[in-house]
Amino acid sequence: MTDPVEPLAIRAIISVKGRVQGVGYRAFALGAASRRGLRGTVRNLEDGRVELEVEGMKETILGLTEDLKIGPPASRVTAVDIDWHPATGRFSGFHIRY
């Protein structure tokens, strides 16, 4: 069952490029998103990027992107791209997708 969508919630697909696989980036993103109360998923893509699908308040998501630009110590982020969409309410928490 999905949770109701917050009235001002929005969904963002965030693509993180750089040295972001094999450095604990997904766990870092999980912690950063969970601390901010966001819902969604994070996963590795075959082309070396990490992708997040996040729902919550736009300002909160923008704050998350600032954390994502830094990443964990072993990472080297070269770009963070965001595509905005309407929220779906289909997430119950924040999880790593495998």
| Residues with active-site annotation | 26, 44
Backbone angles phi, psi at 58, to 5 degrees: -55, -45
- Which residues touch 26 (CB under 8 Å, ≥6 apart)? 42, 43, 44, 50, 96
Return the H-helix or E-strand segment holding 9. strand 9-19
